[in-house]
Amino acid sequence: MSLVIAAGGTGGHVFPALAVAEAWRQRWPDKPIFWIGREGGREEEWIQKAGIPFYGMPAAGWQPRAFWRNLSLLYRLPKAFWAVEKLMRQLKPKGVFSTGGYPGFMPSLWAGLHSRPLFLLELNRYPGRTIRWLSRFAFRVFGAFPETIGLKAEWIGVPVRFSSADRVRYTPSEAKRSWGIPEDRSLILVLGGSQGSTSLNQAVFESLRAWIEAGAFILWQVGRQIPQNLPSEVLTVPFIEDMVRAYIAADIVVSRAGGSTLGELAWWGKAAVLVPSPHVAEDHQRKNAAFWEERGAALVVEEENVPALREAVLYLLRKPEKRIEIARAAQALSRPEAANQLAEYLHTVLYGIS
């Protein structure tokens, strides 16, 4: 009998669930965990690297902007359900934990229909379609924010992929030098999500000259499309594997406003300029960003307003005292024990002991 984790699609769904899995394995290495994700998804690499058995399943979701594409769901959803049904007979799970998203839908539905405990974690202030629909089957729903709009959820925070030892792995000077950046220069860390963001990248590109002239270096997670002929003060990486080194080195973070990333910014206590994506379902990133802005935990700009992004970062470069103020407000939103608390709760429900 095992715990099945169902999550995939983006790092925002995967990394918090992986943090819970790691917390579970540290305390109960004899209790098996299996992972179900999207067939052919990037998460397969991350999960296998962590040493967790991974099973890729077909996953399909509702397309609100291309209604005609949803006709294929009449075929794809039953196919996916029967694939999950066959796999679950093999894995024999005691329960299922999911962070939502389309790859988590069918395993979670299976748990609900087979009376297995289903645990859900909503990472955004406004719940996604998958979590909203599955909540009727859930044994317990947890939320990353103090209040999850329109959903009864227990505030647990965001499980993060870091430990207390990571905080002291490097000094800021050591971390900067490891990236080839002078320790006396400010570093702007740009994160467009695990898959990069073309529109955010363009806005950053148009702001680089001003930031460099202000004395900054830039560490830029660009995704698959790497800009060419950039100044020497700009270091581009398709995907940052060692986020500990990146966060410790960073003085300012420019980022999207997904719940998982916000949880990491809070855990590290980083001053950030948030650029919420306007293209995500239910516009949840704007709602997340608004919550942080109201609490003084970040500056927020719209991605089409390139001058505002440029000036917001310059403002923080010139005002170190404001960076400290924002960083402290961000850290106040952190729930550093979220991964351990979630793992312990799941284990207690499934096995009756902690």
Whole-prediction pTM value?
Answer: 0.92
**Count H helices, E strands: the chain?**
14, 13
What is the structure's pLDDT at 226? Answer: 82
What is the C-alpha to C-alpha distance for residues 150 and 132, in angstroms, rounded to an integer?
9
What is the structure's pLDDT at 59? Answer: 60
Which CATH topology does 164-331 take?
Answer: Rossmann fold (3.40.50)
DSSP state of 147: S
Q: Are 2-160+336-351 and 164-331 equal in CATH topology?
A: yes
Dihedral over Cα of 100, 25, 221, 176: its sign? positive
Name the residue among 283, 238, 284, 241 with its Cα closest to residue 260: 284
* Confidence category of residue 68, pLDDT binned at 50, 70, 90: very low
Please determine, for residue 120, whether its predicted confidence score (pLDDT) is greater than 90: yes
| CATH class (in words) of the domain with range 2-160+336-351 | alpha beta
Q: Where are the domains of the chain?
A: 2-160+336-351, 164-331
Please determine, for residue 69, whether its predicted confidence score (pLDDT) is greater than 90: no
Element (H, E) at 235: strand 234-237
Report pLDDT digits (tens) over 290-325: 999 999 999 999 999 999 999 999 999 999 999 999
